[in-house]
């Protein structure tokens, strides 16, 4: 088992102005309970819904919530997302992960991915929102594969949406060596 795999699923401490809170990845183990149950424990300030594992370079973005639901069923977790948020928990979409096909080919590609994320998971509008009408709080970068290029551009484009009235939070799961090879520029 690789350190990257272990790190991706361990609880990570996330710094905040008030001293910190615990984050957890949810969505890759069908035995972990529902998202609402995870939030109801009171253990977490952040839940990263994992993973959007395919995006960029013209790929069709793909979500994988292994063991929980598939395809058009993803919208059924919308009430759970809203339940978590009502408890004050930030719910993020984690992009990347240890498997999949993702990378960014250019600054324009990063802009297109940011637009997709805004319209389909954050505060924008799209007729095909995979998680239903729930509006996530932000994006978590768990970039473990491919190239490190243009994630700084993606972070800037996503941050710019905060000026549209809803704060877009950005988090990251850098790998153990610092500076992180994949996210150094974005961090």
CB atoms within 10 A of CB 88: 9
Give pLDDT tens digits for 134-185: 999 999 999 999 899 999 999 999 999 997 778 999 998 877 666 666 677 7
Asked whether 38 and 26 are in contact (CB, 8 A), the reply is: yes
Cα 74 to Cα 5: distance, rounded to the nearest angstrom: 24
- In this prediction, residue 1 has a pLDDT band, given cuts at 50, 70 and 90, of very low
Task: Please give the pLDDT value at position 16.
Answer: 39
What amino acid positions are annotated as catalytic residues? 144
Domains of the chain: 3-172 (3.20.20.80)
Q: Taking the model in full, what pTM does it have?
A: 0.85
Range of weakest confidence among 2-6, 26-30, 116-120, 149-153: 2-6
């Amino acid at each position: 088992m690789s350190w990257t795999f272990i790190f991706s699923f361990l609880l990570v401490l996330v710094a905040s102005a008030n001293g910190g809170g615990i984050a957890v990845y949810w969505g890759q183990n069908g035995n972990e309970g529902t998202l609402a149950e995870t939030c109801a424990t009171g253990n977490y300030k952040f839940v990263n819904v994992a993973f959007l594992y395919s995006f960029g370079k013209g790929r069709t973005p793909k979500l994988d919530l292994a063991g929980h639901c598939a395809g058009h069923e993803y919208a059924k977790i919308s009430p759970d997302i809203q339940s978590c948020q009502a408890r004050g928990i930030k719910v993020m979409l984690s992009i990347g992960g240890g498997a999949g096909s993702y990378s960014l080919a250019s600054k324009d590609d990063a802009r297109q991915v940011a637009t997709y994320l805004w319209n389909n998971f954050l505060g924008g509008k799209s007729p095909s929102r995979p998680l239903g009408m729930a509006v996530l709080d932000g994006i978590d970068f768990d970039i473990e594969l491919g190239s490190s290029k243009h994630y700084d551009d993606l972070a800037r484009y996503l941050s710019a949406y905060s000026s549209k009235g809803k704060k877009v939070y950005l988090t990251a799961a850098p790998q153990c060596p610092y500076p992180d090879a994949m996210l150094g520029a974005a961090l």
